[in-house]
Structure formats: structure tokens, C-alpha cells
Amino acid sequence: MNAGVSFPIHMTNNLFTPELIQAVSDWQRKPRDRMQRHKRALALQEHCFKLPNEYRQTSLTCYRQMSLDKKGVWKLLGHQSLDEQVSSWTLDMGFAKALLGGVPQVATGYQEVIFAIFPKPDQVVVNLKMLLDDEEFKQAVEAHKAEINFFSEGLGKYKNDQSEIVLNVGELLEADIWSFGGRSSSFEELVKLAFLHIHNREPRDEQELSVFRAENSEMECHAGASWLTHESTLNVLRRVRPQADELLARKEKEERLRREADAEIRSCATGE
């Protein structure tokens, strides 16, 4: 009766079930549309809710990179919140910065943003970093991977290299903004501008410019596309706050006038 064989307590209790592994693997796969993403989020929540609290908590700050269009930016700054759903975050700021290649060198029409939050316990769907690091979970995955649909596109592909944690925060606040993506002049342009500023003239020849370039190589890290420091990001927010408040007031006025016009039309139609 296999008396000499012992199994981990989690496996004997069927904690790490094929259904849980399937939900985790599906979550890591790219969805074809919002509906499929929503279904996968529901499945993940359903199966992870059964896990012990140790897999549904964190003591670390969580980061999420997003690209917002103008409407999203002004909704966040004007209403000071942005609707959010079940989504992937990371415990590694470096990964958040490098995701999708980081800040694009060429402007795309979107504003890159990194959010940072310390989630409440009830906002954590699952700490995937902790779960995927668990030896018993790894054993369960190995035992059931043949049963998992599209395993090679999910758990079999991504494993645990993203330090991922799945959160359900409901909304993101302006106060959650940690960094904006920004773009400055190229290193070569910065060198020429700095030379002109210091010497009040253009360089005499390429050799003089090359010497100056070598002496100021530290400027290269500030050139091109990069993430702003948190302090610089706060400065940007302070500068745009008056514009955001003005925009919100204008939007609220337009909405009030629209409601009044609709009410008047209904009143005329009913003869009241």
C-alpha cells in the first residue's frame, strides 16, 4: 500500500489542484480579448481564494507599468482616480521599469506611468512569486502539467521571472503615481547645449567637442527616454494640478448643462 512513500501535506489535502494550476497558467497567457481576460480573472480568484493566507499577502510595495491615453491621464488627474480591475503587478521595480522595453525612445501618443501601492490584505488575489517559489507547488505542477491546457504558453513559458502578484484594487489614485516616463534630448544634443552654455560659443572643431564629450560622459544617463525620479514626478504633478482642476470644473459644468437640457427636452415632450 506504498507504506514507505510520504506525500507533502498540501498535495495530500489537494490544495494545489489541477484546476488551480490551470487558472494560474491561463492567467499568465496573453488573452485574446477583454472578455477572456475577465473570465480568467474570475477563475483565478475562485481557486486562489481557497489558498492559505500566506499566499494572499505581501509586505512589499507593488508596482505596475501602464500606458495611458490623454483621456486616461486627465481622468486620473481630474477625477484623481482611474478605474482598475484584477491585474498583474510586480514586486520588482526594475522589472516594472523594463517591461515592454521601458519608455519608448519615440513618443507614441501615450503617457507611460508606473504606479506603486502597498496593498491591503483583501486586495491581494494571489502572491504568484510566493506560490511559484513553493516547492510543493512546483511538485504539483510537475505532476499535473500534462493535464494543463496550453501549459507551454503559460506556466511552462513564464515560470516565475516576473516577481508577479495579482491585485484587485478597484481604482488607482493620483497619489499612487510613482514615476512618469519622459524624454529628453539625445546625448549629442545635450553635449552641444552644455558646451554652448558653459563657453558661450560653439566648439571650434570636432576634437574640442570630443574632449568636452568625454569629460561630461555622466550626462549620457540623463539623455533620451527614461523614467523620472519620484521627486521629479511629484514636481510634474504639482505643475499640472491647476490645469487638471480647471479641466474638471469645465467638464462638470458641461455635464450639468447637458442634464439640464435633457430635463427641459423631456419636460417639453410631456407637456409638463
Please tell me the predicted confidence (pLDDT) of residue 269.
Answer: 65
- Residues 57, 146, single domain; the answer is yes
- Residues 85, 44, single domain; the answer is yes
What cell does 122 get? 483583501
- Assigned domain for 232 exists: no
Please tell me the predicted confidence (pLDDT) of residue 7.
Answer: 44
Residue where a domain stops, chosen among 161, 180, 199:
180
- Assigned domain for 41 exists: yes
- Residues 136, 152, single domain; the answer is yes
- Assigned domain for 116 exists: yes
- Residues 122, 191, single domain; the answer is no
- Assigned domain for 117 exists: yes
Runs of H (alpha helix) within the chain: 9-12, 18-28, 34-48, 70-78, 93-98, 128-133, 135-144, 155-158, 187-199, 206-215, 230-270
- Assigned domain for 13 exists: no
- Residues 116, 153, single domain; the answer is yes
Q: Which amino acid is at 181?
A: G
- Residues 91, 207, single domain; the answer is no
Please tell me the predicted confidence (pLDDT) of residue 2.
Answer: 43
Q: How many domains does the chain have?
A: 2
- Residues 66, 196, single domain; the answer is no
- Assigned domain for 168 exists: yes
- Residues 38, 142, single domain; the answer is yes
Neighbours of 3 (CB within 10 A): 5
- Residues 127, 74, single domain; the answer is yes
Please tell me the predicted confidence (pLDDT) of residue 257.
Answer: 78
Residue where a domain stops, chosen among 128, 147, 180:
180
- Residues 174, 41, single domain; the answer is yes
Please tell me the predicted confidence (pLDDT) of residue 72.
Answer: 84
Strands 164-167 and 111-117, by their bridges, are: unpaired
- Assigned domain for 28 exists: yes
- Residues 133, 209, single domain; the answer is no
Cα–Cα distance, 42 to 48 (Å, whole number): 10
- Assigned domain for 76 exists: yes
Q: Which residues of the chain have pLDDT under 50?
A: 1-7, 9-12
What is the span of the domain harbouring residue 214? 187-222
Full-model pTM: 0.75
Q: Which of 53, 28, 54 is nearest to 43 (CA)?
A: 28
| Helix-helix angle 230-270:70-78, to 10 degrees | 90
- Contact of 176 with 116, CB cutoff 8 Å: yes
Please tell me the predicted confidence (pLDDT) of residue 186.
Answer: 62
- Residues 119, 172, single domain; the answer is yes
